[in-house]
Structure 1
Amino acid sequence: MYFPAAIDTSLAAEDLGIWAPIDHQRIISLLTIGLGVLYHREKAISLEPLPETMLDEGKASPVPDISLRDNSASQTPIIIEVCHTNGLKGDLRKVIQLIDDGDYGIQEGFIYDYRAGTWVLYRSGGDGLTQSTSFSDILQLDLNQFL
């Protein structure tokens, strides 16, 4: 088994590193389970929740914490990033860029700050303006109900 001598900091600087504290992973798990039951068992939503999944399988692409994928259209209309307060600004920049670039069909981007217990939403066409809400217009659900 190979054990690297040290963490390659260039990977973390390029958003390719792994940041997976327990609280962060717990939130991803709770959201994926709650949304997964609605998708797989109850058939109440049409978007499949996928944790840590590439946005484009054909080439290297960003990996949101949770992608809600429309498999029939091969689009990802909703992404969710989980962060703590110190990472909020960077995740917000990432979400706005992914939506405004328009490469992946993302319409709603949520960020959940698990330390503050707050949600931020950025929508396609939002011109950089955010809302403090956990309600998805696409799903017609309050995502906070799963936490």
Structure 2
Amino acid sequence: MYFPTAIEPSLIAEDLGIWAPIDHQRVISLLTIGLGVLYHREKAIFLEPLPETMLDEGKASQVPDVSLRDNPTAQTPIIIEVCHTNGLKGDLRKVIRLIDEDDYGIREGFVYDYRTSKWLRYRFGDGGLTTESSFSEILQLDLNQFLV
């Protein structure tokens, strides 16, 4: 069995490294479970929640903490990044860049800081300005309900 001695620097630079503290993974799990029940069991939402899934299966790509995928169109209209306060700026830049570049059809992005319990939302066309909100206009539901 091969054990690499270090993480490739290029992977870290491309935000493809792994950062998985328990609190971080717990939030991803709660969001995926709550949204998953609405999608799989209740058929109440049209986007499938997927934890830590590549945006582009054809090549190395960004991996949001939670992606909400529209399977018929192969687009990902919503992404969610989970962070703690020290990583907030970097995750927010990542979300804004992914939405503004418009490569994956992302229309709404969220960053959740699990240390402060604060949400930030960014939408396509917002011109770099975020709002403090956990309400998804696309899904018409408050994402924070899965964390309380």
What's the TM-score bracket when you normalise by the shorter of the two chains?
over 0.9
- Separation in structure 2 between the aligned mates of residue 96 and residue 86 of structure 1, nearest angstrom: 17
Shift of 1:17: 1.2
Alignment match, 2:79: 79
Shift of 1:138: 0.4
- Separation in structure 2 between the aligned mates of residue 13 and residue 57 of structure 1, nearest angstrom: 19
Which whole-Å deviations, capped at 9, do the CAs of 1:47-71 have from their partners, x for residues lacking one?
Answer: 0000011111122211100000000
Runs of 4+ displaced beyond 2 Å: 1-14
**1:125 has 2:125 as partner:** yes
Shift of 1:40: 0.1
Shift of 1:4: 2.9
Alignment match, 2:12: 12
Task: List alignment gaps of at least 5 residues for structure 2.
Answer: none
- For 1:87, the aligned partner's letter is G
Once the two structures are superposed, the pairs formed by residues 1-147 of structure 1 within 5 Å of their partners are 1-147=1-147
**RMSD of equivalent CA atoms:** 1.1
Deviates most, 28-37 or 54-63: 54-63
Deviates most, 3-12 or 128-137: 3-12
Residue correspondences, number: 147
- Separation in structure 2 between the aligned mates of residue 66 and residue 8 of structure 1, nearest angstrom: 24
Shift of 1:12: 2.2
TM-score, with structure 1 as normaliser: 0.95
- For 1:66, the aligned partner's letter is V
